[in-house]
Amino acid sequence: MSAEEKLQAFMEGLKKRNPGQREFHQAVYEVAKSVFPYIEDKPLHHEQRVMERLAEPDRVVSFRICWDDDKGNIRVNRGWRVQNNNAIGPYKGGLRFHTSVNESVLKFLAFEQTFKNSLTGLPLGGGKGGSNFNPHGKSDNEVMRFCQSFMTELSHYTGANIDIPAGDIGVGPREIGYMFGQYKRMTHEFTGILTGKGMEFGGSLIRAEATGYGTVYMMHDMLQEKNDSLEGKTVSISGAGNVAVYAAEKCLQLGAKVLTMSDSNGFIYDEDGIDEEKLEYIKNLKMVKRKRIEEYTGKYTKAIYNSDKRPWIVPCQIALPCSTQNELNREEAAVLVNNGCMGVSEGANMPTEQNAIDLFQEQKILYMPSKAANAGGVAISGIEMSQNSARISWKEEELQDLLRTIMHDIHQKCAHYGRESDTYIDYFKGANIAGYVKVADAMLAFGVV
C-alpha cells in the first residue's frame, strides 16, 4: 500500500470508530496527512501502530455538573476531560466553557495539544476539557457555583503530576481562581494543579500575554526568513479575548497597524488603526465589563461595525485568526489572498478549514498552523508549573526572553521538517512532523502500553 492508501485506510477506521465527530476527524487528518508520507520508510511506526494509538485518547471522562442559579433553579451541564497522551509528560491543556463544547471538539483539542506541547520542548503530555456551560450573562456567583461543582468532579482525574488544566475559551483568571479555591478546599493541599493562576497564588508573569505574543513572534520569524518584517504591515485579527488582545498588543509593539477585532456577534473595522489607547478600551470592554465589541463604534465613531460577519473581507497583509475553530473558510481565504494577504499565523486552535489551508499552500503564502503558532501560552504554563514545583517566581524579563526563545526554536523545528526549497517552507507539514517525532519516539521506547 502507498502512503496515500495507508492514510485513507487509517482515516476510514478512525471515522468508523468515532462516528459523527467531525472536528476530531479534521484534526487527526491534518496530522496524519503529514505523518504518513514521513513514516513511509519507517516500518516500526506502522508495526507499532503509533498513529492509531495517538488517535485513541488514553481516556475520555464525562460527568454531570449540577449547580443552582441566582433564582434557585437547579441547572445541569455536562463536563469532560479528554486525556489524549502522556508519553512525554503529565496531561496538560486548557478547559473550555462554551455552548458549542462537545466530545468531538474536546477530542480534537486534546489531540492537537499533544503535538503542540511536544513542539514546546517541555515535558508536557496532551489533554483538554470543558463544559457546554455558557458563562455569558451569568453573575459572578453563578459562575463561582458552576466552577466549584465542575472542579469537585474534575479533581478525581487531575493533580499536579497527573493532569494540569488551564484556561481556554470562556475560562480566564476568574474561573481559574474559583476552581483553584475549590480544589484547595477539598484536598487541603496547595500545589500547582492549574496554570493561569493569579499572581497571589502561584501564577506566572506573562502567562496572560504569552499566547498572543507568541502568535505574533511566529509571524515575525516567518517574515524574517524572507528578510521582511511586521513594520508598517496591516493586520486583521479575529476575536477580542485573551489571545486576540495580546496578539494586537504585540503587533503594535512591532510597528504593525491593526485594523479589525471581533466577537461572536460581528467585527469592528477601524481604518485609522486600533492604537494602544483603543486597545486598552477593548480590553476593558471585553475582559472586564464583558460587553459586546459593537460598543467600540460608540466611542470611536469612525470605526464600522459589521454584524454577523467575519473580518476576512477587509483587505490586509497579515491575518491572525484568534477566536475559534473553523472560522476561516476557503472562500474567505481566497478573498484574503486576492486582497494581498501574505501571511497567516493561527492564534486560535484549528481556525482554518482544510481546503482553505490547501489554498494558502497552493498560493505559497506564509502559513503557520495553530499547534506551532499558539504554543507560547502552554509553554509559559509549563514554566508556571516549574516555578510552582521549585516554589519560586521568575522575573518578567527572564520570562519574556524565554518565550521569545521557545517560539524561535519552534519556528526552526517547523522549518527544518518543512523546508521544500530555498524559497518555500511548508510549515504545516513541518509542525506536524516535528510535533510527532518526539512523542512517537517516547511511545516506541515504552513498548506496547
CB 113 within 8 A of CB 147: no
Distance CA 412, CA 385 (A): 25
Q: Which amino acid is at 216?
A: V
CB 235 within 8 A of CB 420: no
Instruction: Tell whether residue 243 is a contact of ligand NDP (CB under 6 A).
Output: yes
Of all residues in the shown chain, the one whose CB is closest to ligand 2IT is 94
DSSP bridge pairs for 60: 82
CA distances for 409 relative to 32, 370, 413, 434, angstroms: 23, 15, 6, 11
Contact pattern from residue 243 through residue 272 relative to ligand 2IT, giving x for each residue in contact according to CB under 6 A and a dash for the rest: ------------------------------
Using CB under 6 A, count the residues that bind ligand NDP. 25
Q: How far is CA 413 from the centre of its chain?
A: 19
> Rounded to a whole number, what is the distance in angstroms from the first to the last CA of the chain?
27
Contact pattern from residue 83 through residue 112 relative to ligand 2IT, giving x for each residue in contact according to CB under 6 A and a dash for the rest: ---------xxx------------------
Residue whose C-alpha cell is 500547582 = 192
Distance CA 205, CA 225 (A): 29
Q: Which does 93 bind (CB under 5 to 8 A by kind): ligand NDP, ligand 2IT, none?
A: ligand 2IT
Instruction: Tell whether residue 378 is a contact of ligand 2IT (CB under 6 A).
Output: yes
CA distances for 218 relative to 95, 250, 340, 402, 404, angstroms: 24, 11, 20, 14, 9
Output the smallest distance, CB 72 to ligand NDP, in A: 27
Using CB under 6 A, count the residues that bind ligand 2IT. 12
Catalytic one of 33, 107, 128, 250: 128
Which among 148-156, 283-291, 301-309, 373-381 is the span making contact with ligand 2IT, rule CB under 6 A?
Answer: 373-381
Maximum CA extent, the chain: 65
Q: Which amino acid is at 45?
A: H
Instruction: Tell whether residue 242 is a contact of ligand 2IT (CB under 6 A).
Output: no
For the question of residue 16 being annotated catalytic, the response is: no
DSSP bridge pairs for 129: 81, 95
- CB nearer to ligand 2IT: give 113 or 234: 113
Instruction: Tell whether residue 168 is a contact of ligand NDP (CB under 6 A).
Output: yes
Instruction: Tell whether residue 345 is a contact of ligand 2IT (CB under 6 A).
Output: no
Contact pattern from residue 269 through residue 308 relative to ligand 2IT, giving x for each residue in contact according to CB under 6 A and a dash for the rest: ----------------------------------------
Output the smallest distance, CB 51 to ligand NDP, in A: 23
Instruction: Tell whether residue 352 is a contact of ligand NDP (CB under 6 A).
Output: no
Which residues, 6+ apart, have CB-to-CB distance to 398 below 8 Å? Answer: none
CB 354 within 8 A of CB 30: yes
- List residues binding ligand 2IT (CB under 6 A): 92-94, 113, 116, 166, 168, 195, 349, 377-378, 381
The catalytic site residues sit at 128
- List residues binding ligand NDP (CB under 6 A): 98, 100, 167-170, 172, 211, 239-244, 263-265, 322-324, 347-349, 374, 377
